[in-house]
Structure 1
Amino acid sequence: MKEASPAITLQRATEEHIDGLVALYSYPQVSRQVLQMPYPSAAIWRTRLGLENERLLPLLALNQGEVIGNCSLEQYARVRRGHSGGIGMAVAPAWQGQGVGSRLLAAVLEVADNWMGLQRVELTVFADNQPALALYKRHGFEVEGQLRDYAMRDGRLTDVYSMARLQRRER
């Protein structure tokens, strides 16, 4: 993996980035690896951005203003799950393997640890997505289980791994 270019900036997603998010998640190589439908609409992304939701951090990687990656962190709203959050991410095919995902993930985990005080961050990843699995493991995530026939992809039910990264706090 190469280190991400210094020309890449990280920024919170805003209304002006919606078209870039639609473009990012419209790549077939991206849409097949995330738990979203292909051909996303701007209206769906406007809702997903949760511009009024303080518990949601939709973080983007930009190169010369173009959206090349996204990693969202959301703290769960339920009281008994408030110590936890979930992430979802995607990187444009041309930028995969260049450190973009690592920068995004490190940034949202820093917020999870030092601003939200989350003790558990979790995600699901397709079991055959070796680059993503390696990235998550490098950032402290561990596989907690395999969910069989979890999601439809390419016309077939496909397994995912449930992964989590725990921060043990002294009591």
Structure 2
Amino acid sequence: MTTPITIRRAEPDDFAAVQAIYAAPRAQAGTLQLPFPSLDLWRHRLQALDPNAHVLLACAGDEVVGQLGLYAGTNPRRRHVGDLGMGVRDDWQGRGVGTALLAAAIDLADRWLQLRRLELQVYADNAAGIALYTRHGFVEEGRHRDFAFRDGAFVDALSLARIK
């Protein structure tokens, strides 16, 4: 039987669980996080959140298994835009965590934050991530060559966006 995934807002005390997500190799490889993330870094990030940042957690029971940040635009000309970033714990990838987080973020953006455009970058070799975003209405808008340095090599990323 599969444990149901629930979504909730991150609290400052969740820093160790979020740090554990990004301490794992596959989560690091799919994001811009570095190896060996410190607890203090994540403690600070969750304590000093901007009011325009909406950090959601996916939970399986009491266990945090994924994190998504939705960052609403602060520039007056881009207040209609939200930027997304997401990580799923290695042992929970491919089990619906990303789907649950993304659906919750889209609902928040569309029904509560008046965000018309959601945008993100995803590594060009992340087929599962690209498929997830495409299923939720995101379309490719461009390619960033040598976007990031990962595991000793430069990698490309795609810009994807969803306009309501």
Scaled by the length of structure 1, the TM-score of the pair is 0.90
Cα distance in 1 for partners of 2:64, 2:99 equals: 16
Which residue matches 1:94? 91
Which residue matches 2:117? 120
Of 144, 162, 165, the residue aligned with 2:162 is 165
Structure 1 residue 119, shift from structure 2 partner: 0.8
Cα distance in 2 for partners of 1:32, 1:6 equals: 26
Fraction of identical pairs, as percent:
43
- Tell me if the contact between 2:72 and 2:80 (Cα under 8 Å) persists in the aligned partners: yes
Q: Pairwise CA RMSD of aligned residues?
A: 1.6
**Unmatched 5+ stretches in structure 2:** none
Q: Are positions 1:70 and 2:67 aligned together?
A: yes
- Please give the per-residue CA displacement for 1:106-148, whole angstroms capped at 9, x wherever unaligned: 0011000111110111000000000000000000111100000
Q: Are positions 1:40 and 2:32 aligned together?
A: no
Which residue matches 1:104? 101
Structure 1 residue 43, shift from structure 2 partner: 2.4
| Moved segments of 4+, more than 6 Å | none
Which residue matches 2:13? 16
Structure 1 segment 49-88 matched on structure 2, within 5 A: 49=46, 52-88=49-85
Aligned length: 164
Deviates more, 1:42-51 or 1:79-88: 42-51
Which residue matches 2:145? 148
Cα distance in 2 for partners of 1:62, 1:42 equals: 20
Cα distance in 1 for partners of 2:2, 2:75 equals: 38
Of 116, 133, 137, the residue aligned with 1:136 is 133
- Tell me if the contact between 2:25 and 2:90 (Cα under 8 Å) persists in the aligned partners: no
Structure 1 residue 52, shift from structure 2 partner: 5.0
Query: Which amino acid is 1:114 matched to?
Result: R
